[in-house]
Amino acid sequence: MVRRRPATGAAPRPHLAAVGRGLLLASVLAAAASSLPVAESSCPRDNSLVRDISRMQQRNYGREGFSHITVTGALAHGTKEVEVWLQTFGPGQRTPIHRHSCEEVFIVLKGKGTLLLGSSSLKYPGQPQEVPVFQNTTFSIPVNDPHQVWNSNEHEDLQVLVIISRPPVKIFIYDDWSMPHTAAKLKFPYFWDEDCLPAPKDEL
């Protein structure tokens, strides 16, 4: 019996040709993907030991006459127990009426204003106390007490350093001082945490 030799230049087997084309296509796609620009995260993460505050992200989050900087935060910098904010309020500007289940300490760096402090022992905040604050003073907000910080000065900014516990903060917002505590609206993540924590959480 005479065995026939395969003709030279014979076409490769079909399944081997398909594999070759697949590998070629994969390499082309990989090369194309490597040349595409990588989208940068809008979350300003920075775990440097020393940070320059003047280079940190500063935004007003849609509130005219207001600016916020997260100096040290849970989401942007990995802190576990505390978070520090630098906030500036233009003349007449104020925070919403709100409460949160964390400790909060303010240090007034510049200007003067008014702290409005409601009660958590009633069904609603009630008529708030009005407490004047000014440069080089500090004040603490009791856990879950509704409050509002107001730059009641018509001529200069109010700048405060804010320290909170148990970050990231979960804030309940009131329409007015007569709104029941149970009707206050949860805002979480809060505006300056949305870039780092876009998905809302169900737990309080």
Q: Which positions ≥6 away from 57 have C-beta within 8 Å?
A: 44, 69, 70
CA angle, corner 102, sides to 178 and 79, nearest 5?
145
Provide the annotated binding site.
98, 100, 104, 147
Q: Which positions ≥6 away from 100 have C-beta within 8 Å?
A: 143, 144, 164, 169, 170, 171, 172
Question: For position 108, what pLDDT does the model report?
Answer: 98
Positions in the chain whose pLDDT score sits under 50: 16, 26, 28-40, 204
Structure tokens at 21: 């084309």
Question: For position 104, what pLDDT does the model report?
Answer: 98
Domains defined for the chain, CATH in brackets:
56-185 (2.60.120.10)
Question: For position 46, what pLDDT does the model report?
Answer: 84
For residue 97, report the phi and psi dihedrals to the nearest 5 degrees: -70, 125
pTM of the model: 0.76
Question: For position 7, what pLDDT does the model report?
Answer: 54
User: Which residues pair with residue 114 across a beta bridge?
Assistant: 132, 150
Provide the annotated binding site for Zn(2+).
98, 100, 104, 147
Q: Regarding beta strands 112-117 and 129-134, do their DSSP bridges make them parallel or antiparallel, or are they unpaired?
A: antiparallel
Starting at the edge strand that comes first in sequence, how are the strands of the sheet with 185-187 ordered? 129-134, 112-117, 147-150, 97-99, 171-174, 185-187
Q: What is the pLDDT of residues 169-189, one digit of tens each?
A: 999 999 999 999 999 999 999
User: What does the alpha-carbon distance between residue 55 and residue 40 come to, in Å, rounded to a whole number?
Assistant: 17
Question: For position 193, what pLDDT does the model report?
Answer: 94
Structure tokens at 127: 């008529």
For residue 31, report the phi and psi dihedrals to the nearest 5 degrees: -65, -40
